[in-house]
Structure 1
């Protein structure tokens, strides 16, 4: 964070300790995505109690990603003009309303409404709350802002899914408990955000900022391509498990347990933050190539172990995918955000997440159409082909990126 940013924060009368706004921003970011992960282990309740199908879940998942893409495209730069806090609060409110709807789902349309609301929140959050986190991040370690913006969704979603899975398996009235808990946490985070100092003063141009536009700072096009395609490789795989985790657990791993389904969905994300410190010891170029190389090997392992019904090797392979993604995404994000002007952060983060969500939404729409005709394992092969292609593009793009766009090595690293 620059001295100018620090001065601006101080001038906006923060009412929390100096480091608190960064913690609040990171926690709010995680909560938005935890709310998005919470419905996954409840899918079997909706199937058994209300007759929803895999096709319904796939379309709801696609609705989530389409809503996220739309809000990123239209609202990605809004926090530059209205301020970080109001837009962050809007994201939290949308996530909270979506979470509250989960208790009342008895038909596909309500599930789609809930997922669309959560998708809107997930689209607004990266540009507003993610930029807020970068604005307030400490100077060291240098890789921390990249880790938060690149990996927090991948941590928040599985935490929400696993927590909800425990509630479904162990407590009565799981729908009500999950919804009430998420709504209460959302209200708490809104209050804490209101107590933080604003880091981006209001300015003119809010309406004009709604015009769809990708923001790519000069000289960072190849790095953006590498960052976006690395995200597509793993987000598309996450989208598959978001829609089909309960089916995969039932058909291939022999269990209908909600917690196991949540773990199947979460395994490829939960260790994503582990890749951040590892990436801090590598140059961005090496980190992206290493992470994507490990990803492709682990993806092969997922396909082979799932076909064999071997749950422990399958979970191991998915955990490795999460670490690989953490290495690649943090490395690419370091190269992308280091040295950015404050007004460039929201738009650039919106562009990154727009690519990520698009790579998840389009396959989701297709899989929703074919879910009744193909087995989930066959659909996984299609997602895997997309993942491998995206990983290769990321490795090539980062290799062609200009060295001036790369971040400095983190402290303690070898140049």
Structure 2
């Protein structure tokens, strides 16, 4: 049993731990997006279809969702440190599998293990940041929980794209570097204070369930449309974005393949930071409107083969993506009590990653059957309509709130 924080005078200070956990959050998300620019390389080396490519992407999300369902509330019972340390160890196993992968079967296994590790880590780190949130800056944890996933996805894709293009051993070096970073992360977790007291029910919490306390349902479920719209867009970019850049726009440079993801996610991270002090309701509406507008511009770019329109559309949609992340996770932070945080973040992430994965898998199947251009056009059109619907839902909900 871990000692109480008060009995650990040599532990890292809370302020230092907050920054360290935020950095580990970014690291995990960077590791999760690093394979995206490599999919084209793997596809060339091992000669598999777009359907197989998106299946590799989907198996990661499957592992992540199962992990969220089973382990999402565990740190509320056994403490944050044990769950986070176990997740880092499992992530290290996944990175070793990437290093030794010689065919699609090992790639599938690596992504599955990585998904389980990331799911366990995400909710634990999100809850830890809220636990450590400084009283004088009550919104800081929500801002970091909104920025960390998008900035990590952006850095992982861009860094891996650069290594593929300019460094040796493109399918190995990035994973060796990430593995070294995970060793450092383990040392940080060993030195951090425990922020959540143990309480009974740990084994019972492993039973898969999705629960939102009755008092939170109205506010929480109002977030669902925008979560679906924004994370479906993220899934498209991470699974097929580099392929669209190469196949439809003729941009075969691997750095550009990573930059496609970075444009969306990096813009999202910057938007989250810039809007951190704005009212959540206004951010939700703005996020939905920007998603719809950005997708409309991207759709025009795909239709006309215009790289410039594709870039502009991605930047506008990325702004909407970041605004949606800030409003969504900021709301979860605001409404949840300490004992509810792990489970509530798990529900939010499950919804997000189902939206992140299922449409992308469907797009992969459609690409094999109907071609990349037709699939991209239909996908972008559908997401534009979902984003517009999310905007309508948010406007109606806001008008019903008594002034």
Q: 1:120-135 alignment to 2 at 5 Å?
A: 120-135=116-131
Deviation at residue 403 of structure 1 after TM alignment: 10
In 2, the alpha carbon distance for the partners of 1:88 and 1:27 equals 13
Is the 1:235–1:359 Cα contact (8 Å) retained in structure 2?
Answer: yes
In 1, the alpha carbon distance for the partners of 2:306 and 2:393 equals 35
In 1, the alpha carbon distance for the partners of 2:317 and 2:326 equals 14
Select which of 239, 245, 260 maps to 1:243: 239
In 2, the alpha carbon distance for the partners of 1:315 and 1:135 equals 38
Select which of 300, 303, 321 maps to 2:296: 300
Deviation at residue 372 of structure 1 after TM alignment: 1.2
Q: Counterpart of 1:137?
A: 133
Deviation at residue 112 of structure 1 after TM alignment: 1.2
What's the Cα RMSD here? 2.4
> Is structure 2 residue 172 aligned with structure 1 residue 151?
no
In 1, the alpha carbon distance for the partners of 2:165 and 2:39 equals 13
Cα gap change, 1:148/1:86 in structure 2, threshold over 3 Å: closer, same or farther? same
Cα gap change, 1:203/1:259 in structure 2, threshold over 3 Å: closer, same or farther? same
Select which of 364, 370, 375 maps to 2:371: 375
* Greater Cα offset, 164-173 or 118-127: 118-127
Is the 1:143–1:277 Cα contact (8 Å) retained in structure 2?
Answer: no
Q: Counterpart of 1:346?
A: 342
Cα gap change, 1:14/1:222 in structure 2, threshold over 3 Å: closer, same or farther? farther
The total of aligned residue pairs comes to 400
Q: 1:7-406 alignment to 2 at 5 Å?
A: 9-10=5-6, 13=9, 15-399=11-395
Deviation at residue 232 of structure 1 after TM alignment: 1.9
In 2, the alpha carbon distance for the partners of 1:342 and 1:309 equals 50
Deviation at residue 94 of structure 1 after TM alignment: 2.4
Q: TM-score, normalised by structure 2?
A: 0.92
* Greater Cα offset, 37-46 or 183-192: 37-46
Cα gap change, 1:213/1:397 in structure 2, threshold over 3 Å: closer, same or farther? farther
Q: TM-score, normalised by structure 1?
A: 0.89
* Greater Cα offset, 230-239 or 13-22: 13-22
Is the 2:43–2:49 Cα contact (8 Å) retained in structure 1?
Answer: yes
Deviation at residue 13 of structure 1 after TM alignment: 4.4
Q: What are structure 2's unaligned runs of at least 5 residues?
A: none
Cα gap change, 1:295/1:175 in structure 2, threshold over 3 Å: closer, same or farther? same
Deviation at residue 392 of structure 1 after TM alignment: 4.3
Q: Cα deviations across residues 158-213 of structure 1 (Å, max 9, x unaligned)? A: 20111111111111112221111000001101110110000112222111001122
Is the 1:12–1:199 Cα contact (8 Å) retained in structure 2?
Answer: no
Structure 2 residue matching 1:174: 3-state secondary structure:
coil
Structure 2 residue matching 1:205: 3-state secondary structure:
coil
Deviation at residue 14 of structure 1 after TM alignment: 5.4
